[in-house]
Amino acid sequence: MDTVELLRTLVAFDTTSHRSNLDLIHWVTDYLQSHGIAARLVHSDDGGKANLLATIGPPVPGGIVLSGHTDVVPVDGQDWHTDPFALTARDGRFHGRGSADMKGFIAACLCAVPAWCGLVLKRPIHLALSYDEEIGCLGVPRLIADMRAHIPMPALAIIGEPTQMRIGLAHRGFYGHRTTFRGRPAHSGDPALGISAIEPAALLIARLGDLGRTLATRGQHTTFNVGRVDGGTAINIVPGCCEVLWEFRPTNEAGTRRVRREIERMLAAVPPDVTVETAQLAGVPALAASDDELAANIARTLGALWPPGELPFGTEAGFFQQAGIPALVCGPGSIAQAHQPDEWIAASELDAVDRFLRGVGTWASGPGTSAAA
């Protein structure tokens, strides 16, 4: 099967995040088994989803991880001109949900498996497929924990998100929160009988804006957004509850800790007759540019495009970096197509990633362990 045929198969699995990905995972497991490759599955707590980890080559350190997520975003409410779950070729493009983000990369990896199996590999190639990336990277921490427990330390991880095969060495993190304030409702004819929950919520919103501006003046590019505010019941009732959905995107872990300290300090100053609860809804660590050039140099020798850059979107790469595995982002397709109606990937991009993965096989079967190997 070539990459396009494999992509057609993968797109046909509706792995929208609210659905199970097990049909796709079991199909990939059978495909790998047909080539003599065993796959490890690590399931979600409810058993409805699974990560997949498979190794081609010897169980030694210094291998390469090729990582992708299997879930896709919904198509509901989008104006598609083709069936989102049937790959459609038109004018040198392949349309279908997940074609760019990011089943094109996964299909290319699977297409390369038979060729890799025919080589005498001196370093392993690890395939790592995760679940629920699109709703907060929920599966990848469990995937990495399983990886660290069962395979020797890799030399690098390449996360195949769509970068048009250009190397991404850094991106901001993403931390989403729900902060709920609870006061006491009362008739506004005598507001002293109540305790407003909106007033302290407004202070939080203002503080987030101030903090963003302060950090910007210091050259720190952490950004903030308040996405939703929901509080009160009527104009003549002192609001007893207010909920704020907010997020921040730091450039590194030091920035994450700084923001957390500032918000904790602000919330600690809320009057004691107002209760405050903050829940983290999503946490994706930043990918920090590393002084270690090994990973980038390896990717460059494989045919990834240079110069590297900072990405405007988050990925699972920061989780690998936190686990001590050098990581970068490089994959086929354009991020401009991600999550869009009539999502597509160009045939030329699939050709480029096929060449790149042939280079992975050459690297893994070559002598030495240096970036120039």
- Mind listing the pLDDT tens digit for each residue in 24-67? 999 999 999 999 999 999 999 999 999 999 999 999 999 999 99
- Asked if residue 264 has pLDDT above 60, the reply is yes
Using pLDDT thresholds of 50, 70 and 90, give the confidence band for residue 293. confident
CA angle, 38 then 13 then 344, to 5°:
110
Using pLDDT thresholds of 50, 70 and 90, give the confidence band for residue 370. very low
Instruction: Determine the pLDDT at residue 254.
Output: 86
Which residue is associated with the tokens 């896709």? 72
- Asked if residue 372 has pLDDT above 70, the reply is no
Task: Give CA–CA dist 171/311, Å, rounded.
Answer: 5
Instruction: Determine the pLDDT at residue 63.
Output: 96
- Classify residue 344 as exposed, middle or buried by CB count within 10 Å of its CB (0-12, 13-18, 19+): buried
pLDDT in tens, 133-177: 999 999 999 999 999 999 999 999 999 999 999 999 999 999 999
- Classify residue 290 as exposed, middle or buried by CB count within 10 Å of its CB (0-12, 13-18, 19+): middle
Encode 76-86: b = buried (16+ Cβ within 10 Å), e = exposed. eeeebebebbe
Q: Catalogue all structural domains in the chain, each as residue range(s) with its CATH number.
A: 3-171+286-365 (3.40.630.10), 174-284 (3.30.70.360)
pTM: 0.90
Using pLDDT thresholds of 50, 70 and 90, give the confidence band for residue 368. low
pLDDT in tens, 101-121: 999 999 999 999 999 999 999
Report which DSSP code applies to 284: E
The predicted model gives 276-301 an average pLDDT of 89
Instruction: Determine the pLDDT at residue 103.
Output: 98
DSSP calls for 86-127: S-EEETTEEESTTIIIIIHHHHHHHHHHHHHHTS--SS-EEE
Instruction: Determine the pLDDT at residue 373.
Output: 37
Which residues touch 195 (CB under 8 Å, ≥6 apart)? 183, 184, 186, 238, 240, 271, 273, 274
- Asked if residue 369 has pLDDT above 70, the reply is no
The predicted model gives 277-303 an average pLDDT of 89
For residue 302, give the nearest of 235, 212, 208, 372 by alpha carbon: 372
Instruction: Determine the pLDDT at residue 371.
Output: 38
For residue 21, give the nearest of 45, 1, 43, 54 by alpha carbon: 43
pLDDT in tens, 170-226: 999 999 999 999 999 999 999 999 999 999 999 999 999 999 998 888 877 899 999
- Asked if residue 92 has pLDDT above 90, the reply is yes
